[in-house]
Amino acid sequence: MEPEVDYVIMEALSGNMTIKVPIGSLEDVGVRSAMEMADVELLFKVLRSGPTDELRNWSRRFKDNEQRILSGDVYLIAEVVRNLSKRGGDSHVSHGERKLLDTARQAVQGEIELALGIFSEEASQRLDEELGLTAEQTRR
């Protein structure tokens, strides 16, 4: 007879997906608690700061941003959102970078939704505000 295992059951924000993770494996798969208000303030500070992607070569910049997203670190992902959003009006932003921006935005917006207990549209607006984007620059 196998030992009884307790699970954490999570519902994904997008799509109709339920995820069951054994409690003993939470850290291994990267599950963590929602951000505290101090963490959200730090996230907003990252979004408000100036862009740091000095890389002119788009392929190198793409790889760097992709690695930041794959890291799972919300602050590094916020840097991707900030950097690519500030480049958004630039005709040199590739289709691949736009897809990276969409992926990174979704992750950061989800963090804001959970931490502040707000709905998707409000979190998207708050994200745009923190980025200092005008109505023409928003990517909805």
Is residue 68 domain-shared with residue 17, that is, in the same domain? no
Gap between the Cα atoms of 102 and 121, Å rounded: 15
Q: Does some domain include residue 37? A: yes
Q: Which two tokens stand for residue 128?
A: 């745009």
pLDDT digits (tens, 9 = 90+) for 91-138: 667 889 999 999 999 999 999 998 999 999 999 999 999 999 876 666
pTM above 0.85, yes or no: no
- Residue by residue, what is the 3-state secondary structure of 22-85? EHHHCCCCCCCCCCCHHHHHHHHHHHHCCCCCCCCCHHHHHHHHHHHHHHCCHHHHHHHHHHHH
Number of domains composing the chain: 2
Domain, as residue range, for 86:
33-131
Q: Please, which residues bridge with residue 46 across strands?
A: none
Residue 139 lies inside a defined structural domain of this protein? no
